[in-house]
Protein backbone atom coordinates (compact mmCIF):
# COMPACT_ATOMS: atom_id res chain seq x y z
CA UNK A 1 0.00 0.00 0.00
CA UNK A 2 2.92 2.35 0.74
CA UNK A 3 4.31 1.80 -2.78
CA UNK A 4 0.90 2.49 -4.31
CA UNK A 5 0.61 5.67 -2.23
CA UNK A 6 3.94 6.76 -3.80
CA UNK A 7 2.42 6.24 -7.27
CA UNK A 8 4.30 2.99 -7.94
CA UNK A 9 1.89 1.15 -10.26
CA UNK A 10 4.27 -1.81 -10.58
CA UNK A 11 3.72 -2.89 -6.99
CA UNK A 12 2.01 -6.23 -6.40
CA UNK A 13 1.39 -8.41 -3.35
CA UNK A 14 3.47 -11.51 -4.02
CA UNK A 15 3.80 -13.02 -0.53
CA UNK A 16 1.50 -15.83 0.52
CA UNK A 17 -1.36 -14.61 2.66
CA UNK A 18 -3.55 -16.35 5.22
CA UNK A 19 -6.78 -17.68 3.74
CA UNK A 20 -8.98 -14.74 4.84
CA UNK A 21 -6.67 -12.27 3.02
CA UNK A 22 -6.08 -14.17 -0.23
CA UNK A 23 -9.10 -12.61 -1.88
CA UNK A 24 -7.87 -9.18 -0.78
CA UNK A 25 -4.49 -9.93 -2.39
CA UNK A 26 -6.14 -10.92 -5.70
CA UNK A 27 -8.38 -7.82 -5.69
CA UNK A 28 -5.49 -5.50 -4.86
CA UNK A 29 -3.25 -6.89 -7.62
CA UNK A 30 -6.09 -6.78 -10.15
CA UNK A 31 -7.00 -3.20 -9.25
CA UNK A 32 -3.40 -1.99 -9.51
CA UNK A 33 -3.06 -3.69 -12.91
CA UNK A 34 -6.25 -2.01 -14.18
CA UNK A 35 -5.09 1.32 -12.80
CA UNK A 36 -1.74 0.97 -14.61
CA UNK A 37 -3.60 0.13 -17.84
CA UNK A 38 -5.84 3.18 -17.40
CA UNK A 39 -2.84 5.46 -17.02
CA UNK A 40 -1.25 3.92 -20.13
CA UNK A 41 -4.47 4.70 -22.03
CA UNK A 42 -4.46 8.26 -20.69
CA UNK A 43 -0.84 8.68 -21.80
CA UNK A 44 -1.68 7.39 -25.26
CA UNK A 45 -4.63 9.77 -25.50
CA UNK A 46 -2.41 12.68 -24.47
CA UNK A 47 0.04 11.71 -27.23
CA UNK A 48 -2.83 11.72 -29.73
CA UNK A 49 -3.88 15.18 -28.56
CA UNK A 50 -0.31 16.48 -28.99
CA UNK A 51 -0.16 14.97 -32.49
CA UNK A 52 -3.50 16.58 -33.40
CA UNK A 53 -2.27 19.95 -32.12
CA UNK A 54 0.83 19.68 -34.29
CA UNK A 55 -1.33 18.84 -37.31
CA UNK A 56 -3.55 21.86 -36.64
CA UNK A 57 -0.48 24.10 -36.35
CA UNK A 58 0.91 22.70 -39.60
CA UNK A 59 -2.40 23.19 -41.41
CA UNK A 60 -2.64 26.73 -40.05
CA UNK A 61 0.88 27.56 -41.25
CA UNK A 62 0.15 26.05 -44.65
CA UNK A 63 -3.08 28.04 -44.93
CA UNK A 64 -1.31 31.27 -43.96
CA UNK A 65 1.44 30.60 -46.49
CA UNK A 66 -1.10 30.00 -49.26
CA UNK A 67 -3.02 33.14 -48.29
CA UNK A 68 0.24 35.12 -48.53
CA UNK A 69 0.98 33.71 -51.97
CA UNK A 70 -2.55 34.50 -53.12
CA UNK A 71 -2.23 38.05 -51.80
CA UNK A 72 1.06 38.46 -53.69
CA UNK A 73 -0.58 37.14 -56.86
CA UNK A 74 -3.46 39.56 -56.37
CA UNK A 75 -1.00 42.43 -55.93
CA UNK A 76 0.78 41.43 -59.14
CA UNK A 77 -2.55 41.26 -60.97
CA UNK A 78 -3.45 44.73 -59.70
CA UNK A 79 -0.08 46.09 -60.86
CA UNK A 80 -0.54 44.45 -64.26
CA UNK A 81 -4.02 45.92 -64.46
CA UNK A 82 -2.53 49.33 -63.67
CA UNK A 83 0.06 48.89 -66.44
CA UNK A 84 -2.60 47.76 -68.89
CA UNK A 85 -4.74 50.76 -68.01
CA UNK A 86 -1.80 53.08 -68.61
CA UNK A 87 -1.00 51.39 -71.93
CA UNK A 88 -4.63 51.57 -73.02
CA UNK A 89 -4.79 55.25 -72.14
CA UNK A 90 -1.66 55.99 -74.19
CA UNK A 91 -2.99 53.97 -77.10
CA UNK A 92 -6.36 55.71 -77.00
CA UNK A 93 -4.68 59.07 -76.81
CA UNK A 94 -2.37 58.19 -79.67
CA UNK A 95 -5.14 56.94 -81.91
CA UNK A 96 -7.50 59.71 -80.93
CA UNK A 97 -10.31 57.37 -81.64
CA UNK A 98 -13.26 56.93 -79.32
CA UNK A 99 -13.71 53.41 -80.68
CA UNK A 100 -10.20 52.40 -79.61
CA UNK A 101 -10.67 53.88 -76.16
CA UNK A 102 -13.98 52.05 -75.71
CA UNK A 103 -12.43 48.72 -76.71
CA UNK A 104 -9.55 49.24 -74.29
CA UNK A 105 -11.96 50.09 -71.49
CA UNK A 106 -13.92 46.95 -72.25
CA UNK A 107 -10.76 44.86 -72.05
CA UNK A 108 -9.83 46.48 -68.74
CA UNK A 109 -13.28 45.69 -67.38
CA UNK A 110 -13.02 42.04 -68.44
CA UNK A 111 -9.60 41.70 -66.85
CA UNK A 112 -10.86 43.38 -63.70
CA UNK A 113 -13.75 40.93 -63.64
CA UNK A 114 -11.30 38.01 -63.93
CA UNK A 115 -9.16 39.43 -61.13
CA UNK A 116 -12.21 39.74 -58.91
CA UNK A 117 -13.16 36.13 -59.69
CA UNK A 118 -9.66 34.97 -58.70
CA UNK A 119 -9.86 36.91 -55.45
CA UNK A 120 -13.27 35.42 -54.74
CA UNK A 121 -11.94 31.89 -55.40
CA UNK A 122 -8.97 32.52 -53.09
CA UNK A 123 -11.26 33.71 -50.31
CA UNK A 124 -13.49 30.64 -50.72
CA UNK A 125 -10.44 28.38 -50.41
CA UNK A 126 -9.39 30.21 -47.24
CA UNK A 127 -12.89 29.69 -45.78
CA UNK A 128 -12.74 25.98 -46.60
CA UNK A 129 -9.32 25.69 -44.92
CA UNK A 130 -10.63 27.39 -41.77
CA UNK A 131 -13.64 25.06 -41.73
CA UNK A 132 -11.31 22.03 -41.93
CA UNK A 133 -9.22 23.44 -39.12
CA UNK A 134 -12.36 23.90 -37.04
CA UNK A 135 -13.23 20.23 -37.55
CA UNK A 136 -9.73 19.16 -36.48
CA UNK A 137 -9.91 21.35 -33.40
CA UNK A 138 -13.30 19.84 -32.54
CA UNK A 139 -11.78 16.32 -32.73
CA UNK A 140 -8.88 17.42 -30.52
CA UNK A 141 -11.28 18.90 -27.99
CA UNK A 142 -13.31 15.67 -27.98
CA UNK A 143 -10.12 13.64 -27.40
CA UNK A 144 -9.17 15.95 -24.52
CA UNK A 145 -12.66 15.56 -23.04
CA UNK A 146 -12.44 11.76 -23.30
CA UNK A 147 -8.99 11.83 -21.69
CA UNK A 148 -10.39 13.83 -18.78
CA UNK A 149 -13.25 11.34 -18.41
CA UNK A 150 -10.76 8.42 -18.33
CA UNK A 151 -8.66 10.24 -15.70
CA UNK A 152 -11.77 10.93 -13.62
CA UNK A 153 -12.86 7.28 -13.86
CA UNK A 154 -9.37 6.16 -12.83
CA UNK A 155 -9.48 8.46 -9.79
CA UNK A 156 -12.90 7.13 -8.80
CA UNK A 157 -11.60 3.57 -9.16
CA UNK A 158 -8.62 4.34 -6.94
CA UNK A 159 -10.87 5.93 -4.32
CA UNK A 160 -13.19 2.89 -4.38
CA UNK A 161 -10.22 0.53 -4.11
CA UNK A 162 -8.77 2.50 -1.21
CA UNK A 163 -12.16 2.45 0.53
CA UNK A 164 -12.52 -1.27 -0.09
CA UNK A 165 -9.02 -2.00 1.13
CA UNK A 166 -9.46 0.07 4.28
CA UNK A 167 -12.83 -1.62 5.10
CA UNK A 168 -11.86 -5.23 4.23
CA UNK A 169 -9.44 -5.93 7.15
CA UNK A 170 -11.87 -4.40 9.67
CA UNK A 171 -14.72 -6.59 8.49
CA UNK A 172 -12.52 -9.69 8.78
CA UNK A 173 -11.48 -8.75 12.35
CA UNK A 174 -15.13 -8.32 13.35
CA UNK A 175 -16.03 -11.73 11.90
CA UNK A 176 -13.19 -13.40 13.85
CA UNK A 177 -14.54 -11.96 17.13
CA UNK A 178 -18.18 -12.99 16.62
CA UNK A 179 -19.21 -16.20 18.39
CA UNK A 180 -19.94 -19.10 16.10
CA UNK A 181 -23.63 -20.06 16.18
CA UNK A 182 -24.63 -23.64 15.50
Which residues 6+ apart lie within 8 Å of 181 measured at CB? none
Q: Please state the domain extents for the chain.
A: 28-168
Cα torsion 97, 102, 105, 106 to 10°: value is -140
pLDDT at res. 121: 93
Asked if the model's pLDDT at residue 174 lies above 70, the reply is no
Among candidate residues 85, 75, 72, 93, the one with its CA nearest the CA of residue 111: 85
Task: Check residues 139 and 4 and name the one with the higher pLDDT.
Answer: 139
Q: Do residues 37 and 7 touch, judged by C-beta distance below 8 A? A: no
Distance of CA 27 to the CA centre of its chain: 37
> What pLDDT was estimated at residue 41?
94
Helices (H), the chain: 2-5, 19-95, 98-177
- For a pLDDT cut of 90, what percent of the chain falls above it? 36
Of the candidates 82, 88, 83, which has an alpha carbon nearest to the alpha carbon of residue 101?
88
- Considering the entire predicted model, what is its pTM? 0.36
Residues 63, 129: contact at Cβ < 8 Å? yes
**Quick check: 140 and 17 in contact, CB under 8 A?**
no
28-168, which class in CATH?
mainly alpha
Is the pLDDT assigned to residue 165 strictly greater than 80? Answer: yes
* pLDDT one-digit tens code per residue, 82-112: 888 888 778 767 777 767 777 888 888 889 9
pLDDT, tens digit, 9 for 90 and up, residues 125-138: 999 999 999 999 99
Amino acid sequence: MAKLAKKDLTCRIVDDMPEPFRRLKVHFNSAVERLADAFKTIGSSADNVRLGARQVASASNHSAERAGKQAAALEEAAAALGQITTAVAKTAKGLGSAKGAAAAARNDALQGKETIRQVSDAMAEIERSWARMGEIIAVIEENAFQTNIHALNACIGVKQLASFLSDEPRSLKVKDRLPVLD
